[in-house]
Structure 1
Amino acid sequence: MAGIRDIVDGPAFVALPNALWDVAQHPVPGGPHWQQGVTWEEWCGGGGTLMDECLAVTGTGGAPAPQTSMTGGVTQTNRGATAFTVFAEFDCSAVGQDLERNQAEEALLRTEAWQVSRAFWTGQAGTTAGGAATTVWPHLAANAVLNDPQGIKLQTAASPMVTGGDDTAVVLGALESQLAACYGGVGVIHVPYAALPSFASRMLVKQGDDGLLRTTAGNVVVAGQGYTGSGPDGSAPAAGTSWIYATGALFAYRSDVFVRDFPGTLDRTKNTIRKIASRTYLVGFECCHLAALLNLGVPT
């Protein structure tokens, strides 16, 4: 827009670190079909420990009875996830269309991480053309299991933890202990921004060599911009509290940025046209789905 003041570039936008996409694994898609949803096999649970009853035992403690059968096998489950699309509207100059791609990516970048993490936490993804609510599967704040008509598990119910104390370290310790028993590998702790200082003040999280936040046990921390802190039933947390979640490893797909016009939106007074930039995501996780209520605060 012409004026007496010089037209300059504003400050560069820098995305916040430790977002959902940053932490997730990025499998190479075999094509665009993942946007219709995906199905995969997961292997959860643990094994067992056997004692050979023929072993000689010395000392006064005696020996436990030998284990006569193998229990505690690994469970194979078919899991599924659905895709969702985030978007941003922006005004684009009707001339100089070669700049359209950069403008679209810049417009979407400013809200993309917030939208993705909000959808993955709450499961809310707007409405259909007919006004029906749409849901992202799977999502964190859920207290019911959902299987599709083929019996593929789309949603698990978060298991609330009983910590026996409200100190941040106690809550995180209980959550990671259960995560280790459930998964055994590097999992993910999902923390709203409001709860992150409670962990940092106790030095319970640190930046790893890969630049990601990690707990002292080695689990990755997602500090989601759009994470709401709501509980498994979807209700908002009470003042001074926040829910946090733990899952197995994350994986995610995302498409390229797609740009399209809004028909009939040419503004001849400004010589601009309204456009929309969008990108499709899919996020899934393995095995564990745990939740814990945290009292916010720092050490006194």
Structure 2
Amino acid sequence: MSTPYYEVQNPPVQPRMYGLFSTAAVIFGDGRWMFAGVTSETDGCSQARLVDPACPPTGETGGDTSLQGQPRTYVNGSPFIVYAGVTCGPVANPLPEDVARRRLALGEQWRVERTVWERQLATADAVEATGAATAVPVVDAVAALEQALANLFGGQGVIHVPVRAAAHLAAAQLIERDGQMKRTTTIGTPVAVGGGYPGTGTDGSPPTAGQMHLYATGPVVVRRSDVVVPATLRSGALNTSTNQALVVAERTYAVTTDCVLLHVLADLT
């Protein structure tokens, strides 16, 4: 007869580094945005124009002949809920709500990354950074994204890459460490290395072998509510007919990516 295992507490699992949260402005707190979503004005995609007070030399083009403006621009983010749960019997130690909170803390970034990629990055609105949908070498892909960001956006953007593309970017010396939790390109553009990024194209199709879809946006803002545990063992989570409980921890998110959205298909071979 074998003796039962003795339960011990292991050190906590360390969260994954270099993901979307490392490049975003993360804002905490509940609010009306949890139900209606968020909208905010941005000046990032405005363009400065030229008025040349002197006549241009023969054969050259001067600045605008009349003053022009651009309409006000807004970015929007719809709310979504991310949760993690645990099933257990009526007697549990540690408390299942504590387990659910820990699981949420470890898994929520992945789920937010997957949601942002599918709803806000890999869409038909993305502009081809190279002007075409054909694959280019990975160095040219990153260069095209950064040049397009510089042309179309007045501030610092973010490049979004799946985890399996990160090694190729590092091998080509395209990304480097900025502190303990952040990756950037050689000119300082933040790189979100998303474990939840599937690498799909603008139509949702997976990349072919040796290729990867990369995206770039303006700054990312992540709003997230406080963690909520709707029911515990003592407050309704226990199903008395099965003597089992489902305890979940959840929080609401809304993510905005500023006005530019760029895509490039990179050849990793």
TM normalised by structure 2 equals 0.85
Distance change (3 Å), C-alpha of 1:252 and 1:265: farther
Deviation at 1:119, TM superposition (A): 0.8
Deviation at 1:238, TM superposition (A): 1.2
State whether residues 28 and 226 of structure 2, in contact with CA within 8 Å, keep that contact through their aligned partners in structure 1. no
The residue that corresponds to 1:173 in the other structure is 143
The residue that corresponds to 1:20 in the other structure is 20
Deviation at 1:140, TM superposition (A): 0.7
The residue that corresponds to 1:64 in the other structure is 60
The residue that corresponds to 1:284 in the other structure is 256
SS of 1:194's equivalent in the other structure is helix
Q: Which amino acid aligns with 2:174?
A: L
State whether residues 153 and 218 of structure 2, in contact with CA within 8 Å, keep that contact through their aligned partners in structure 1. yes
Consecutive unaligned residues of structure 1, counting only runs of 5 or more, are: 56-60, 124-138, 144-156
SS of 1:117's equivalent in the other structure is helix
The residue that corresponds to 1:142 in the other structure is 123
Matches of 1:185 and 1:210, distance apart in 2: 23
Q: Which amino acid aligns with 1:47?
A: A
Consecutive unaligned residues of structure 2, counting only runs of 5 or more, are: 232-236
Q: Please say which of residues 99-108 and 15-24 is displaced more in the overlay.
A: 99-108
The residue that corresponds to 1:104 in the other structure is 100
Matches of 1:219 and 1:119, distance apart in 2: 22
The residue that corresponds to 2:126 in the other structure is 158
State whether residues 266 and 273 of structure 1, in contact with CA within 8 Å, keep that contact through their aligned partners in structure 2. no
Deviation at 1:26, TM superposition (A): 2.8
SS of 1:260's equivalent in the other structure is coil
State whether residues 84 and 101 of structure 2, in contact with CA within 8 Å, keep that contact through their aligned partners in structure 1. no
Distance change (3 Å), C-alpha of 1:119 and 1:265: farther
Q: Give the paired residue count.
A: 258
TM-superposition CA deviations, 1:240-270 (whole Å, max 9, x none): 21101000011011112211344516765xx
SS of 2:25's equivalent in the other structure is coil
SS of 1:277's equivalent in the other structure is strand
Q: Greater relative contact order: 1 or 2 (C-alpha under 8 angstroms, separation 6 or more)? A: 2
State whether residues 42 and 259 of structure 2, in contact with CA within 8 Å, keep that contact through their aligned partners in structure 1. yes
Distance change (3 Å), C-alpha of 1:289 and 1:280: same
Query: What percent identity do the matched residue pairs reach?
Result: 31
The residue that corresponds to 1:45 in the other structure is 46
TM-superposition CA deviations, 1:135-164 (whole Å, max 9, x none): xxxx11110xxxxxxxxxxxxx10123378
TM normalised by structure 1 equals 0.77
The residue that corresponds to 1:119 in the other structure is 115
Deviation at 1:72, TM superposition (A): 6.7
Query: Is residue 253 from structure 1 mapped to residue 223 from structure 2 by the alignment?
Result: yes
TM-superposition CA deviations, 1:141-200 (whole Å, max 9, x none): 110xxxxxxxxxxxxx10123378722111110111001111121100000011111110
State whether residues 188 and 250 of structure 1, in contact with CA within 8 Å, keep that contact through their aligned partners in structure 2. yes
